[in-house]
Structure 1
């Protein structure tokens, strides 16, 4: 699609044979050899020139600036190579950067200054690269025009996002979306379409729980993702399922912060998705997969840990016959029982998994059969014992200890 140089016009790179030859002559691995250093240089110049952007290098704020610079630099290379190639992600991020300025309460001139600083650094680096090449005045002039055209386009997109955000703040769309979000996750979800929100109701939703006091980098969120920043336990609503693209978006917006993702559910069950996500977040010491932890990866664990007191009673009752044993004797028996319940494998395989002699396994199984009797033959009892052992293992992860489960006041 044509690249707009302003909200009402269209432009492509200057079409000259000299420019095409110059672009073709540039190093084919410029994306790996030049872009990373150029992005670093632009970010540092912006942070040095504009106090409002001078945040710590590792902060989420700095992360969003770097992402915007990198996406614009790579977009420029794509635009030169193929002016018809869509740059939708770059365009949307530029608009969001403008909207972010409104959220931060800054005038439009601040981000415009950032674009000017970026243009100066980019052109300085390009001229340094051209010093080692034979390039005609016409080609250099065309390339300079391309840089200015592209950056004017980016600045115009940010201005568009800024003005739109200003208008939304006035017309109440943000407030309407927040009210709609809260209605969706309310105790009796009966939210209906709200024209003021300009947000079509999806059939399915996925809720994401954030730690208290944590907020994502808003410009990196997709435009249709809703956020309640005022809740003591902040959360997001993602329309539809968590696709690969949605997950990448969330990880970028979280900038290293943790979050828990609930199950994708029908819209009317949004509160359930949020409740499960928050429960998973509460279990961060037990269930933790990195930045994003997904409920769908821990369904059994969530169920087993849903009622700790009840599961503790199941553990104590199910393993009561082992309680009189000392911990030294009880631990190996519990380990062997857990593997047998999970695999129902012969002694030879269990011995391989436990790393003990097969005769040791057979001895332990005879002791377990003596202590538990016919209970091991009952499917219901086996299920209860296995659930209890799984719960014990999950709980032990957060304790940095592994006492064998047994009823209170027993075992030596």
Structure 2
């Protein structure tokens, strides 16, 4: 006589035989109850997957009867028949491919356990199975179902992980093609394979690798991500779909303070233009929205040209001592930016207005009437639009 704490159980032959005869009917009952109680399976059993699930139910029942009949390890749940475990694992993989969740799968298992135990116990009671053996029988039924459900969940997780890696590679290929400026048909074919619906615009964001996962939680679902971009060190590229117009401000706020550099929105096939600007801004040590740094980006677009312009525009100060030359250049920059308003220039330079007056006098002595010439003012404004150290020129 079996004890409820004993994992071994061997049912009498007549009980096993009676249950085995009913297996097809019990399997059908399980399937019907799953269809009735789990919405995700409402249409699943009408196609090939339905036959697969019906077969898996019958295999699982057969494996269980092999256990309790003593034909597979004397009824030890830990020695489940290999076909039942493999079937449960493959069922889980199939469910992942079908797009159903593990919640639906586990609900189906719970229903299957309930229906199976009801049918098994009716046969056992009808054949006068002793109560204590019946209790152990119940425990073994539900332990067996737990083992099978665990195998199915493992299959589901493995398939989901594999599918996720494949999809990730396909999406990264879309990124590579966009950055390479590939022809539209090539990119469209790659996007279709990745099941990625093309947007109207894409906006490049260069983000620290450690921030990619949390950022993706706040950005649109179709955002492309790649940590395999040659020019980026410890950073990743995100391509955000349709973050233009009024949506841009919200997107910028969502990534603020994360150490990101945000390029401009561009037509989706021109995403590399957005990336190029973000990359330039990052090289200059800038963060945030590149739209806020346009003057500096323009002025530093050609460093050699800026250096030549700066040298020519500041030639009248070339013979002065370095310290004097630096002070006068700084004053000239502030004077141009504040349109000659002495008080504002003084406040910007943290000096007395008289000091500004003295320095402007020196500048007029050096430049003469050229300080009133629009062409000279334009050249000086461009040359001094950024600080010398910002422009990487001397």
TM-score, normalised with respect to structure 1 = 0.49
Shift, 1:302, TM fit? 1.2
Relative to its length, the structure with more helix (as a share) is 2
Matched, 1:216 2:212: yes
Match of 2:139 in 1: none
Q: Aligned runs of 1:34-183 on 2, under 5 Å?
A: 165-166=160-161, 168-169=163-164, 172-183=166-177
Matched, 1:298 2:296: no
For residues 7-406 of structure 1, the aligned pairs below 5 Å read 8=40, 165-166=160-161, 168-169=163-164, 172-188=166-182, 190=184, 191-192=187-188, 194-210=191-207, 216-217=212-213, 220=217, 222-232=220-230, 233=232, 234-241=236-243, 243-247=248-252, 249-250=254-255, 258-284=259-285, 287-288=286-287, 293-393=288-388, 395=390
Structure 1 residue 236: Cα displacement: 1.0
Change in CA separation of 1:7 and 1:387 when aligned onto 2, cut-off 3 Å? farther
Residues 277, 295 of structure 1: 8 Å contact kept: yes
Tell me the CA shift for residue 199 of structure 1.
1.6
Structure 1: 5+ residue runs without aligned partners? 10-101, 103-107, 113-157, 399-404, 407-412
Between the aligned partners of 2:205 and 2:345, the Cα distance in structure 1 is 40
Q: Deviations over 1:325-344 (max 9, x none)?
A: 11332233222211211121
CA contact (8 A) 1:311 1:391 kept: no
Q: Indicate the larger mover: 298-307 or 190-199.
A: 190-199
Correspondence for 1:37:
none
Aligned-pair CA distance for 1:257: 5.6
Does the Cα contact within 8 Å between 1:301 and 1:394 map onto a contact in 2? no
SS of 2:386's equivalent in the other structure is helix
- Which blocks of at least 5 consecutive residues in structure 2 are unaligned? 1-36, 42-95, 97-101, 107-152
Shift of 1:248: 5.4
* 8 Å contact kept, 1:202–1:240: yes
Relative to structure 1, the CA distance from residue 245 to residue 341 in structure 2 (aligned partners, 3 Å threshold; closer, same or farther) is: closer
- Displacement after TM superposition at 1:392 (Å): 2.5
Is the Cα–Cα contact under 8 Å of residues 306 and 383 in structure 2 kept in the other structure? yes
1:318 Cα offset (Å): 0.8
The answer to whether the Cα contact below 8 Å between 1:222 and 1:249 also exists between their aligned partners in 2 is: no
CA distance in 1, matches of 2:298, 2:378: 14
2: CA distance, partners of 1:353 / 1:173: 54
Secondary structure, aligned partner of 2:385 = helix
1:188 is displaced (CA, Å) by: 4.3
Measured in 2, the distance between the counterparts of 1:324 and 1:261 equals 42
Query: How far is the alpha carbon of 1:271 from its aligned partner?
Result: 0.9
How many residues are treated as equivalent by the alignment?
238
The verdict on how the C-alpha distance between 1:216 and 1:349 changes in structure 2, with shifts beyond 3 A counting, is closer
1:294 positional shift: 1.6
Shift of the alpha carbon at 1:235? 0.9
Given that 1:260 and 1:281 are in contact with CA atoms closer than 8 Å, whether structure 2 keeps it comes out as yes
Conserved 8 A contact 2:310-2:383: yes
Distance 1:394 1:300 in 2: 15
Q: SS at 1:237's partner residue? A: strand
With normalisation by structure 2, the TM-score equals 0.51
SS in 2 for 1:344: coil
Distance 1:353 1:248 in 2: 30
| Residues 158-215 of structure 1 deviation map (CA, whole Å, 9 limit, x = unaligned) | 99x9688447348x5433322222222223452326432222111111011245x666
Q: Deviations over 1:131-163 (max 9, x none)?
A: xxxxxxxxxxxxxxxxxxxxxxxxxxx99x968
Residues 181, 270 of structure 2: 8 Å contact kept: no
Aligned CA RMSD, in angstroms, stands at 3.7
Larger Rg belongs to: 2
Task: Provide the rounded CA distance (Å) in 2 between the counterparts of 1:309 and 1:262.
Answer: 24
